Amino acid sequence: MIVMPDGRTMMRTVRDRAMLDELVKKGKPLEAGQMIVMSGGKTYIVEDSRMPDGKMLTEMLILMSAD
């Protein structure tokens, strides 16, 4: 998945191994509990965390998506 600076996303399969190796050379893998959030034209890496009501952020997002 590619997230462009303007927020557009694309799904692509990269078959060229050398190109894929170059793409991830300077990147960092997302760790468990991290999410990608887009807001105001910017993309953020957000850590899952406990919200003031005691629920985890991911729990709240799942509940919101069910509405």
Residue 3's identity, in one-letter code, is V
| Contact (CB, 8 A) for 45 and 32 | no
- pLDDT for residue 66 is more than 90: no
* Average of per-residue pLDDT across 27-51: 86
Backbone angles phi, psi at 50, to 5 degrees: -80, 130
pTM summary value: 0.58
Which comes out higher in pLDDT, residue 67 or 25? 25
* Average of per-residue pLDDT across 6-28: 88
SS3 43: strand
pLDDT at 67: 62
Q: How far apart are CA 13 and CA 23, in angstroms?
A: 13
